[in-house]
Structure 1
C-alpha cells in the first residue's frame, strides 16, 4: 500500500484487513516516520549503488538500457560528481537526468548543473535538499513550460489526467498563444507536454492499448513544489481540506479539490469572484459553486470533473458567462442550456464522460469552437458544418440523416481528429462513396476512428494524408480498406 499520509488513513485501511495471526505480510510506504512506527516499524530503503545510479542516469540521458559507463569520456568525471550529490536517491537522479538531457553534451554545461545543486543530498537527507534539485530543474525550464507545469497543481495528489484533456486546458487558459511553423495550437501543446516528460517533470501513465495515448501525473514531491510556488506567485488558489491558500482579490484560478474543504474559507474566496478567470472543481464541490458562479463574469475556464451536478445547478447560468473560452464537464448532469449559444468566445466544449446526451442546436453559433467532444450517441443539429474552425470532433453520430451529416463533415477541413459513429443505419455503397469523398477533403486529418454497426465499411479510393498517425475501423461486416499513404507509418487497426 503506497504513500500512507497519516495514521487516520491507516486505521481505516486496517479495519478491512484480517487479524494479524492470519499469516500474511503487509508492506506500506510512507514519508512520515511517525506513521511507519505506528503501523509496525520502519525499514529505511537503502540508496542506489553507484553502479545502479549510473545505469539510471545514463539510460535516461543516452537511451541505452543497462549501461553503467558514460559513452562520452569527457563527461565521466562530472557525471560521477553529480551522482555523488544525488546520493543514490532515484527521484533526484531522474530529475537531474531530465535536466542534463536538455543541455549540450558539454563538460562546462554539466559542471554548471553540478555547481547549482549546492550541498545536494550526500551529507543531508533532508527533504529540502531534494526540493533544491527539483527547483533547479523547474527554474531551468523556459517560461512557457514553467507556466504549464505550475498548472498541474490544480489537480489533487495522485490524480491522472488524460494527455488530450491537459493540452486542451492549457489552450483554454491561454498558455499556448499561437501555432508555430504551420502547427496547430494542439500540436504546439503536444510539443510542450513531450518536453516536460523528457525533462521528467511530468510522468506518463500508460494504461491503453495504443501506446501514444496516456495519462499524465506528477510525482508527489513535484506536486508539493509547484503547489508551493503556485501559492507564492498567486497562480492557483488551492482548497482541498488539507491546505488552502489565503484568498485575496487577486485570485485568478480556483482549484476546489474536496468537499471536505473549509466551507467558511471557501465562502470568502467565492465572495470575491471579480478577478477569477478559471475554476476547476472535483467530486461534489460543485454544490459549493452553485450560489455564486453566476457572479464570475470574467470566467474563461470552467472545469467540473467527476462531479454530480444537480438540475438546480449553476450550469443554468452558463449563458451569462460570456467570456468563457473552455468548458469541461464530466459526471452526472441533465443537459446543457440553450443559452450556450451566447458564448461567442467559446473554443473548447468537452462533455465526453458526462451524462449529457443532447447538444443544443445553438452550438452552431460558436464560430470560434476548435474542440467539440461529447458521448457516442449524441446527435448534432443540422448546420454543424458551419463550425469550420473545428480541429477535433468526437463523436460524430450520423444516425438521423447520414448523407446530410457526411456532407456537413466535409466542410470541416481543419479537422485533425475525427471519431465517426453509426450503429443502426445500414451502411451501403452509396454512403461509403459519400464518406470517401468527405475524407478526401479532410487533408489535415491525423487521427480517424470509424465505427459502423450495421453494414460494411469500404474506404477504397481514399488516399490517406501523409501525416495520418492512427486509423481505427470497426465494422459489423469485414472492413475493406486499400489505402495509399506515402512516406508514413501509422497504426491501423480493424477491431472485430
Structure 2
C-alpha cells in the first residue's frame, strides 16, 4: 500500500501505512485476522482525503471531518504501540497463545477503530468529494509572465545590481552560466526577475534572444522545451516529439547569445533538467539562465553557477511596500499608522504578505477594522483575496510525505523559537516520524537528512549569532504548521487559556499551569515539554494521566515513552522501573548533582540510543554500561 503523497498523506497516510505494515508482519498476522478488512477500509480513501484536504480551507465542516479522521488514526497508532510493547515484553510467540483474551481484546479494538473510520467515510459530506490523485496546479495561483506586475519594488536595488553585473560578465569557458534566485514563497523572487528582465540595463549585455518560461509544479522536458522555443520564436509548436523540438532549439540558439528565465522551478529530477539543458549548451558564450526557486536542492540540481539567497525586506522597505498598497499617497491617521507599523512588524519583511494585507486594508478606514487584521492570522483572511495563502499551501503540498509530519510537529513551538537541529531530530525520532529504509543507516542520520531537506526548501532559516548556530521559522510558516496540525499541538502560555482538546497529542508549556485539570482531558498525549516548571500539582501526578506520553520532562511508568529528561532534578537514584520502558530512545541526566546510582539493568533498554550526563558520581557507571551493551552513544559533558 503506497504512502500517500498529498497533504492528507502526511497526517493520515503514514499512520495507515504503519497499520498495514504491523498487521502484515510475520509476528502479528498469526494472531489478528483483520488485514483484509484494513485493506478494504483504506481502498480509495487516499483520493477522497486528497480532495477533502483542499476543500477544508473554504469549508469548516470539511475541516471538522478531517480532524475526526485524523483523531481515529492517531488512536490506531497508539493501539499499535501497545501491541508492539506487549510483543517486546514477552519475546516469545508461544506466550501470546496463552494470553488469548488480551489478543482478542486488541483485535476487537482494531476492528472497532476500523468501524469508526468506515462510519466517517460513509457520512453524507464525503459524497461531495471528488476522486482525484495528485496535486492540482490551481493551488499555485496564476502563472507568471515577463510583464512587470509591480512598477516599483522596494529594497531590491542591491539584488538587481548584482544580477546586472552577472549578466554583463563573460566567463573564460563556454559553459552555460546559471544564476538561481532562492527564497521562501512571497519573498519577491518572480517580481525581481521581472524587473531585471525588462530593465534597460539588461540590454547592455547585448543578448540576441530572450525568453521567459513559467515552469511551476510540473517539470517536463518536452513541455518546457516547447515553451522556450515558443517564446524565442513568438509562435506555438504542437509537436509531441522531443527530438524535433530540440532540433529547432539547437538551430535557433546555435551561435547566438541568449537570456532565459525559468520562473518557479520545483522539479528535483536531475534527468529532466539534463534533457532540457542539452540544446541550451549550443548558445554562444555569455548566454545566461536565471532560475527562481524556493529550494536550494533545485538550484544545486540545475548546476547553478551562482546561488543568490533573497533576504527579507528591512523595516523601512517593508513599510514602504505596505503603505503603497494600503493608503497610496493619502495621509494616514496617526492611530492607523500605529496599527500599520505593528502589522508590518508582524509580517516580517515578506513583500507578498505585505501586498496582500495592504490591499485588504485599502478600503478600510476604521481603527477596529485595522485592529481586526492585526490580531487575525493569515488563515482568517478571505482566501480569495490572498496571494500568499495558496503559495504557502502549494509549498506544503510539494513536501514529500515523510517531511509533512515533521513540519507539522513544529507547530508545537512558539513563533521565534530557536530550533536546535539535534534536539528536534530526537523529538521526531520519538514520534516515529523518522523511517529508515536501509537497515545500516542510523535514524539520527536519516533525521538529519530530513532536517537539511526542510532547510533546503526554505522552511527553516539558519542563523549564526556569536558563533552559535540555530534555526528559525518564519512567522507565516509557523502559522502554516499550526493550521495543518489543527488541535494536535497546543502551546500553553502561547495559544491562550482555552480548554485543551481530547484530540491534543503534544503540549508545550512556557508559563504557569493554572488550569492543569483541563490538560487531563488529553488522554492520548505523547509530548509534554515544560519550559518553566511552575505547576501547582506535582509533575508526576499530572503526567500520570497521559498514558500515551512519549516526550515528558520527568519519569513515569509509560510504555509509549521515547525521551526521558530528568535534567536539573534532585533525583538521587534512578529506579529499576525505568528498565521496563522498552521504547525509550533518549535519557537526559544533565545537572543531576545528587544522582548516586543507576540501575545495572539499563542494558535491557534495547532501543536506547543516546544518553546525556554531566560529570557526577554515578556517571562512571555509564561507561561500564556502554561496554556491556555496545549500542549506546554516550554524551558525557563536563
Using the size of structure 2 for normalisation, the TM-score is 0.41
**Offset of residue 208 of structure 1:** 6.9
SS in 2 for 1:382: coil
**Offset of residue 136 of structure 1:** 3.8
Task: Name the counterpart of 2:623.
Answer: 406
Task: Name the counterpart of 1:373.
Answer: 588
Q: Does 145-154 or 97-106 show the bigger shift?
A: 97-106
Asked whether the equivalents of residues 574 and 599 of structure 2 are also in contact (C-alpha less than 8 Å), the reply is no
CA-atom RMSD, angstroms? Answer: 4.5
SS in 2 for 1:411: helix
Match of 1:253 among 486, 489, 506: 489
Asked whether the equivalents of residues 566 and 588 of structure 2 are also in contact (C-alpha less than 8 Å), the reply is yes
**Offset of residue 276 of structure 1:** 2.8
Using the size of structure 1 for normalisation, the TM-score is 0.52
Match runs of 1:145-164 below 5 Å: 145-164=403-422
Asked whether the equivalents of residues 278 and 299 of structure 1 are also in contact (C-alpha less than 8 Å), the reply is yes
Match runs of 1:46-61 below 5 Å: 46-48=155-157, 51-52=160-161, 54=163
Distance in 2, matches of 1:316 and 1:132, equals: 44
* Ranges in structure 1 where 5+ consecutive residues have no aligned partner: 1-43, 59-66, 90-95, 115-119, 238-251, 330-335, 421-448, 452-496
SS in 2 for 1:280: strand
**Offset of residue 121 of structure 1:** 7.8
The structure whose residues are more often helix, as a share, is 2
**Offset of residue 192 of structure 1:** 0.3
Matched, 1:281 2:509: yes
Distance in 2, matches of 1:225 and 1:179, equals: 29
**Offset of residue 356 of structure 1:** 5.2
Task: Name the counterpart of 1:350.
Answer: 565
The CA deviation string for residues 296-333 of structure 1, in whole angstroms up to 9 with x for no partner, is: 332222222x2223362453243443322222x3xxxx
Task: Name the counterpart of 2:543.
Answer: 318
Distance in 2, matches of 1:53 and 1:126, equals: 28
Task: Name the counterpart of 2:396.
Answer: 138
Match runs of 1:139-288 below 5 Å: 139-178=397-436, 180-207=438-465, 209=467, 214-227=469-482, 229-230=483-484, 235-237=485-487, 252-258=488-494, 262-263=496-497, 266-267=498-499, 270=500, 272-273=501-502, 275-284=503-512, 286-288=513-515
**Offset of residue 343 of structure 1:** 1.2
The CA deviation string for residues 426-459 of structure 1, in whole angstroms up to 9 with x for no partner, is: xxxxxxxxxxxxxxxxxxxxxxx5x4xxxxxxxx
Asked whether the equivalents of residues 611 and 632 of structure 2 are also in contact (C-alpha less than 8 Å), the reply is yes
Asked whether the equivalents of residues 253 and 276 of structure 1 are also in contact (C-alpha less than 8 Å), the reply is yes
Task: Name the counterpart of 1:382.
Answer: 599
Matched, 1:73 2:184: no
**Offset of residue 196 of structure 1:** 0.7
Task: Name the counterpart of 1:494.
Answer: none
Asked whether the equivalents of residues 459 and 473 of structure 2 are also in contact (C-alpha less than 8 Å), the reply is yes
SS in 2 for 1:373: strand
Distance in 1, matches of 2:582 and 2:391, equals: 46
**Offset of residue 195 of structure 1:** 0.7
Matched, 1:298 2:528: no
Q: 1:50 to 1:277 in 2, by over 3 A?
A: closer
SS in 2 for 1:197: helix
Q: 1:357 to 1:375 in 2, by over 3 A?
A: farther
SS in 2 for 1:126: helix
**Offset of residue 375 of structure 1:** 1.5
Q: 1:355 to 1:49 in 2, by over 3 A?
A: same
Distance in 1, matches of 2:194 and 2:414, equals: 28
| Structure number, greater radius of gyration | 2
SS in 1 for 2:611: strand
* Ranges in structure 2 where 5+ consecutive residues have no aligned partner: 1-152, 183-187, 196-261, 278-288, 294-349, 358-385
Asked whether the equivalents of residues 590 and 614 of structure 2 are also in contact (C-alpha less than 8 Å), the reply is no
Distance in 1, matches of 2:477 and 2:613, equals: 35
Asked whether the equivalents of residues 294 and 314 of structure 1 are also in contact (C-alpha less than 8 Å), the reply is no
Q: How many residues align?
A: 312
Asked whether the equivalents of residues 47 and 87 of structure 1 are also in contact (C-alpha less than 8 Å), the reply is no
